[in-house]
Amino acid sequence: MDTLYIIIPSYNEEVNIEKTVKAWHTVAEKIGGDSRLIMIDDGSEDSTRPKLHALSDVFPFLRVLEKENSGHGGTILFGYQYAVEKNATYIFQTDSDGQTDAKEFWRLWQERKKYDAQFGLRKGREDGMSRVFVSWVLKQVLFFSFGVKIKDANVPFRLMSRKSLSVFLPEIPKDYNLSNVLVSVLYAKSKASVRFEPITFRPRQGGKNSINLRKICKIGRKAVRDFRVLKKTIH
């Protein structure tokens, strides 16, 4: 029986966390067996962590992991490694801000046997033109850095087989801030079978985004430097 681990990082998401757990727990529960919803608190400074622990008493497929703050990318890597160690058949990642729709997951799940990985493709995005522009720039940078064309490299809506993901994880530096981007690059450069599925991408459903345009620009400059180094090491 296939098992699914849903990996969701959270940092100061006290406003959204209950709705996120309810939505994605339904998915884990429906698949059943040893499937789990893994909520990872990345050192939140609000009430996210105690809320998660309270929810774990109510939702049987929910598991709460805690870690010191290392950012979104490092937290995702932590979750991927945990899921691989637990021998999940498939690993899915999304975020805790309510921008993705759990109902759209099933289109990926139905096709899981045909592909090593399936990624969402954010069409008609509702999170602002600045974010759309950043994604476009990232697409160009990845092409010139690695020679790959990726439709949506950093999308937080991705289903991957444990078998394929476990091959790539050792190539990603610990706590790397753009781990999902690098995962996408590694899939693109390999002979793995990958599919992109259009998804809804809503505005943040509540709370404050911790990443603003200034921070995005700073991350972008560092990413270009990192890509130059990683180009020499990744296969």
Q: What is the pLDDT of residues 141-191, one digit of tens each?
A: 999 999 999 999 999 999 999 999 999 999 999 889 999 999 999 999 998
Alpha-carbon gap, residue 72 to 177, rounded angstroms: 7
Q: What is the chain's percent helix, strand, coil content, to nearest 5?
A: 45, 20, 35
Both structure tokens of 29: 């529960």
Q: What is the pLDDT of residues 18-35, one digit of tens each?
A: 999 999 999 999 999 999
Closest CA to 211 of 185, 178, 173, 169: 178
Query: Is the pLDDT reported for residue 212 higher than 60?
Result: no
Q: Do residues 13 and 20 make contact, with C-beta atoms less than 8 angstroms apart?
A: yes
DSSP tally for the chain: helices H, then strands E: 8, 7
pTM: 0.92
Closest CA to 194 of 183, 207, 205: 183
Query: Is the pLDDT reported for residue 222 higher than 70?
Result: yes
Mean per-residue pLDDT for 45-50?
97
High-pLDDT (> 70) share of the chain, %: 91
Distance of CA 91 to the CA centre of its chain: 10
Strands 157-161 and 90-94: antiparallel
Does the structural domain 4-230 have CATH classification 3.90.45.10? no
What pLDDT does 166 receive?
Answer: 98
What is the radius of gyration, based on Cα positions, of the chain?
Answer: 17
Query: Token match 């394929």: residue?
Result: 164
Query: Is the pLDDT reported for residue 207 higher than 70?
Result: no
Q: What is the pLDDT of residues 75-96, one digit of tens each?
A: 999 999 999 999 999 999 999 9
Q: Other CB atoms closer than 10 Å to residue 188's CB: what's the count?
A: 18
Q: What is the pLDDT of residues 124-133, one digit of tens each?
A: 776 667 777 8
Q: What is the pLDDT of residues 68-78, one digit of tens each?
A: 999 999 999 99
What pLDDT does 23 receive?
Answer: 98
CA distance to 9, 16, 216, per residue, from 12 (Å): 10, 9, 19
Mean pLDDT of the chain: 91
- Domain residue ranges of the chain, discontinuous segments joined by +: 4-230
